[in-house]
Structure 1
Amino acid sequence: MEWIFEPWPWYVAGPLIAGIMFLLLFGGKNFGMSSNLRTMCTIGGAGKKADFFNFNWKSQRWNLTVVAGAIIGGFIAANFLSYDTAVDIDPDTVATLENLGFASAGQAYLPDELFATDALADPMSLVILLIGGLLIGFGARYAGGCTSGHAISGLSNLQLPSLIAVIGFFIGGLVMVHLLFPLIF
């Protein structure tokens, strides 16, 4: 049972994702996490204010189960199925992050400087998280889906708009890491 406590290699995780995608495609469903935000807004009554939210949300209940499973599974994996939360990254990257003020670089999946509860008391961290969340939400809506929807579901369906979106995600990530991240920190 020791293997359950280690990160699973690509040759296990990849076929599992492919199997889930096959089942979803076979069932006529499209996977995407950001579409759940629309569903939750509709449940909350946003359809009375905007036509975008006026749809039969009950047809998307299955996708809410996916979100609940991701949250519960992530919690279980992080708290009960992990011995070590250290991240094996390049020493040069660790040195660069430490120079930018991230002392926890390489020690955790999420840097404590941004994601620990103490960081919520720091106005700069709070502003970064809020602006980042708004940009991600806007980007997912503007692109017609999030990275998981386009990269997994859209590419599985051989959709050209998803390929364009995924290329844009990668370019945006490179710009953020190499140009904006050093400016912000």
Structure 2
Amino acid sequence: MASTRPRTRSQTNGTNMGTNFSRLEATPVASKENGIPLMIAFKSSVSALCGLVFGIAVEKSRVFEPAVVTSQMLFRKFIMMKVFLTSLTVGMFFLSVLSILPFTRKKYLLSRAAFVGSISKKGYFGVSVGAFILGSGMAVVGTCPGLVGIQIGAGVSNAVFTLAGALAGTLLYGLVEPYVTSLTKPTTPIKYHFLYQLMGSPPFIVSFPVFSMLGIVVFSLEMMYPWQYEIAVQASDIVGKPMLANPCWHPYICGTLIGCLQVPLVLIVGETIGGSRCYCTLMSQGIVNNSMKKLSPYLSKFKNGFANWWQVIFIVASALGSFLSATASGQYGNVDGVSPWVASLGGLMITFGARMAGGCTSGHGLSGVGLLNMTSMAAVICIFCGGMVTANLLQLMS
């Protein structure tokens, strides 16, 4: 995701950005701050701390469990939806606030430009197909790119095979990316990236009714499907125990913690929540000569720079947070995963789909929709469509 500063009025005005975002590159551009060791160390520490909180919140929410993901895709349980919508509602609220405060608006604009830069060469068709593949992979393996590290940290069986598949999927996409891009690249640039552009209103005016409506949906889901019954938690498992020792927390608490992470990431790191790009950075470390760069120009762009490495720090820290949380509650290693072959296949699908879509459930779902990006809205719909179709097909086959 690019860190390019907006230079024209159309790039910085919330209602008139036009197609200037198409000039942003899809990969990070190092800023002057990246050359200052102390600044890099500070941003790295913030990334790690945010990842730690993210890992704890997700582990306590139980949405990293394959059975929970599958149950959501089959609409049998709604824990995943509650946590996701709570995170989105809280994140959208804070992003909207950051967009109107004079002392935070510049940081908000930079992070928004970074997000759009990451998908500037993609159109609705390519994003939708990639998101559908991602959703299908989620139904197969029961996780998404941003939660693989959390599964490993929590000791989910065969999660390492999911990681191996995810790295393989990233490599595969890196090799075929020129062909995929040529087949799916839009003939004309996207004119309106954000819903408020289309409506001709400032971001906060549009986001306020949206996150209010999402809040009502979350509240209604909890009223109809209380979280204690969906997770089957007993009062004795929670009462009298330290917070971290509880096996699970209310989805409102977990979702709020995740949504609040948008604030430090935007203000200090200059990015929004995301996870799938870290696999590109890891795989790019194997590119050591010009021949390899020619083989995958796409992956070679992710090799260096803090703007690439912050997600690696974030995901590694999330695995640590998950491990600490699971260990403190005695839940480490208690969650069953899928078989090694299924984990490998699902891992490949989720990262290939995420890279084709330009983001995952965190990048598109929490950050993109939180910014009211219309491409991300289409992506989220296709993620759930892919997940629902695949989950039902697998159920019929079993």
Q: TM-score scaled by structure 1?
A: 0.70
Residue 255 of structure 2 corresponds to 14
- Matches of 1:10 and 1:32, distance apart in 2: 20
Change (3 A) 1:42 1:9: same
Query: Where does residue 242 of structure 2 map in the other structure?
Result: 2
Amino acid aligned to 1:168: C
Structure 1: any 5+ residue segments left out of the alignment? Answer: 86-107, 115-124
| Structure 1 residue 84: Cα displacement | 5.2
Distance 1:110 1:143 in 2: 29
The TM-score, its normalising length taken from structure 2, stands at 0.35
Give yes or no for contact 1:34–1:146 (8 Å, CA) kept in 2: yes
Distance 1:133 1:14 in 2: 24
SS in structure 2 at match of 1:44: coil
**Is the 2:244–2:325 contact (alpha carbons within 8 Å) kept by the matching residues of 1?**
no
* AA partner of residue 372 (structure 2): L
Query: Which structure has the bigger radius of gyration?
Result: 2
TM superposition shift of 1:166: 0.8
- Partners in 2 of 1:126 and 1:19 — Cα distance? 35
How far apart in 2 are the matches of 1:170 and 1:66? 25
Contact 1:21 1:156 (8 Å CA) reproduced: no
Give me the whole-angstrom Cα distance separating, in 2, the residues matched to 1:155 and 1:110: 31
Who is 2:394 aligned against? 180
Contact persistence 2:261–2:273 (CA under 8 A): no
Q: Deviations over 1:62-107 (max 9, x none)?
A: 22110111111112222x222458xxxxxxxxxxxxxxxxxxxxxx
Distance in 2, Cα, partners of 1:141 & 1:165: 12
- Counterpart residue type for residue 371 of structure 2: N
Q: Percent identity?
A: 32
The answer (yes or no) to whether the contact 1:150–1:162 under 8 Å persists in 2 is yes
2:338 maps to 1:136: no
The whole-number CA distance in structure 1 between the counterparts of 2:395 and 2:355 is: 23
Rounded to whole Å, the distance in 2 between the matches of 1:126 and 1:75 is 21
Count of residues in Structure 1 that have an aligned counterpart in Structure 2: 150
Partner of 1:121: none
Contact kept? 2:365, 2:380, Cα under 8 Å: yes
The 4+ residue runs of structure 1 with deviation greater than 4 A are: none
What is the deviation of 1:150? Answer: 1.1
Query: Structure 2 unaligned runs (5+)?
Result: 1-240
Matched, 1:36 2:278: yes
The question of 1:58 aligning with 2:325 is answered: no
Instruction: Classify 1:15/1:53 alpha carbon distance in 2 versus 1 (closer, same or farther; 3 Å).
Output: same
CA RMSD of aligned residues (A): 2.4
- Tell me the equivalent position of 2:329: 82
